[in-house]
Structure 1
């Protein structure tokens, strides 16, 4: 019971501190710019091995063999990830 009240109190204090710090337009734009740069860095770094999964015939013979045997997991995963990235970019451009 005490833990719940303690977490509630900490959450209320943190929420109040965030609200106080973000009341200025300059602070809000600074935080928004930082969040956007972090998101852009994450989207750029997320394409490491997934790019190969969507193009099995090009770079990895193991993937090409799996797809030729009927496995579509890598291709579906690649398509879902690129669709999510496309949606994120469209939202940020609007």
Structure 2
């Protein structure tokens, strides 16, 4: 069998199995409720863990609590003389200030 048909066959088999399992209304409702619960959990998780935006981090690269890889790289570049992130932050804040007034 050619490689390009493997994905098609796998998709067709998966669709057939899914159709067979979801033929009952009770199974469909159970799946819908599980998907809604998991989606709500994920939204809450990401909303709770989101502290500052990337833009705010760029404005003060060495003064943030979270030390992820991108933030450490930004701090390193600023220590070497790069001011792109800080200048971009200042420009956006200045434009926001003009729009508020």
Q: Into which bin does the TM-score normalised by the smaller protein fall?
A: 0.5 to 0.7
After superposition, residues 18-57 of structure 1 pair within 5 angstroms as 18-47=18-47, 48-49=49-50, 51-53=51-53
Task: Detail structure 1 runs of 4+ shifted over 6 Å in the superposition.
Answer: none
Q: Is residue 67 of structure 2 the alignment partner of residue 69 of structure 1?
A: no
Using the size of structure 2 for normalisation, the TM-score is 0.51
**Which of structures 1 and 2 has the larger relative contact order (alpha carbons within 8 angstroms, sep 6+)?**
2
TM-score if structure 1 supplies the norm length? 0.55
- Residue 6 of structure 1: how far off its partner (Å): 1.5
CA–CA distance in structure 1, aligned partners of residues 89 and 14 of structure 2: 54
Report the Cα offset of residue 68 of structure 1: 7.2
Shift of 1:62: 3.4
Find the aligned partners of 1:34 and 1:42 in 2 and give their Cα distance. Answer: 12
Tell me the SS of whatever aligns to 1:23.
Answer: coil
1:10 aligns with 2:10: yes
- Give the deviation of 1:70 after TM superposition: 3.0
Q: Which has the larger radius of gyration?
A: 2
- Could you tell me which runs of 5 or more consecutive residues in structure 1 were left unpaired when the two chains were aligned: 73-94
Distance in 2 between the 1:5 and 1:68 partners?
50
RMSD after superposition: 2.7
Deviation at 1:71, TM superposition (A): 3.3
